[in-house]
């Protein structure tokens, strides 16, 4: 899966497992509050700019994106308890579809699952595309996330993501597909706030940033920080030709 495609899956980037859906997302530096305002990613010949908009209560209301393939908008709706209830995406970049996601919660107020519905080109009805369920470990962090995709009459496929943590970071994930062997990946992290943690996370698949408080660092990654110590730039694939690297930049606002 390409980096840009992973971004679409994530955003919502992205676009979303909101681990702190009932809380105002806060990054506090020297008594000032910061939140992500803009995120730009370039991978190969594709560049997308994502702009984040918030309501008076501090909750994310819209992600508006422009880029190589067109426009991308996601609108976030919340239930009376302040939990994310629905995310509507129109149009879908790179997938040629519009879609929406609905979310359910357990008795402890934790996200227990979500469904993705898609409106494909040439159709007029939204169809169930995938179902995702979450189970939690003793630390109340997601332990297993299972997604079943049923695209129309095609054979469905199920993928599970099992997490191991060090502190508040998912340092190991095992991806188990319907067919083939499990894939185990390990991660290293810095000690600075991940701007997407508690804000935007999993949607139709896996994105490590959704479950980790800090930012992934390590081999073949180059990270830069702004004067507040917040991540401002990331290059992925420093061991590759520059044309094949992924470049990310982050901008913030106070509120």
State whether the Cα torsion 7-234-229-254 is positive or negative. Answer: negative
Q: Hey, which residues does 60 pair with through a beta bridge?
A: 54
Residues 116, 134 contacting (CB under 8 angstroms): no
Helix or strand (DSSP H, E) at 8: helix 3-9
- Strand extents, DSSP E, 137-180: 142-149, 157-166, 169-176
Q: Which CATH architecture has domain 3-254?
A: Beta Barrel (2.40)
Residues 87, 12 contacting (CB under 8 angstroms): yes
Which pTM value belongs to this model?
A: 0.84
Per-residue pLDDT of the chain in tens (255 residues, 90 and over written 9)? 444 444 444 343 334 454 444 344 568 887 789 999 999 999 988 898 999 999 999 899 999 988 887 887 889 999 999 999 999 987 755 555 688 999 999 999 888 999 999 887 777 888 898 999 999 998 888 899 999 998 665 678 999 999 999 999 999 999 999 999 999 999 999 999 998 887 754 544 445 566 889 999 999 999 999 999 999 999 999 999 988 999 999 999 998
């Amino acid at each position: 899966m390409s980096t840009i495609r992973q971004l679409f899956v994530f955003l919502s980037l992205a676009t979303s497992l909101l681990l702190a859906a009932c809380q105002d997302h806060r990054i506090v530096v020297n008594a000032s509050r910061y939140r992500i305002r803009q995120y730009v990613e370039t991978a190969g010949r594709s560049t997308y700019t994502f702009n984040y908009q918030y309501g008076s209560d501090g909750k994310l209301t819209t992600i508006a994106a422009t880029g190589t393939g067109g426009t991308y908008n996601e609108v976030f709706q919340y239930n009376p308890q302040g939990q994310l209830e629905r995310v509507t995406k129109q149009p879908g970049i790179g997938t040629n579809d519009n879609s929406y996601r609905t979310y359910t919660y357990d008795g402890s107020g934790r996200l227990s699952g979500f469904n993705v519905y898609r409106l494909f080109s040439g159709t007029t009805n939204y169809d169930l595309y995938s179902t995702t369920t979450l189970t939690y470990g003793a630390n109340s962090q997601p332990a297993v996330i299972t997604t079943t995709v049923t695209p129309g009459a095609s054979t469905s496929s199920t993928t599970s993501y099992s997490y191991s943590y060090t502190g508040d970071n998912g340092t190991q994930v095992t991806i188990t597909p319907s067919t083939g062997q499990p894939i185990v990946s390990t991660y290293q992290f810095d000690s600075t706030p991940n701007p997407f943690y508690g804000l935007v996370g999993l949607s139709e698949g896996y994105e490590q940033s959704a479950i980790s408080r800090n930012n992934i660092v390590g081999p073949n990654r180059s990270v830069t920080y702004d004067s507040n110590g917040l991540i401002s730039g990331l290059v992925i694939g420093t061991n590759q030709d520059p044309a094949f690297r992924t470049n990310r930049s982050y901008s913030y606002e106070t509120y």
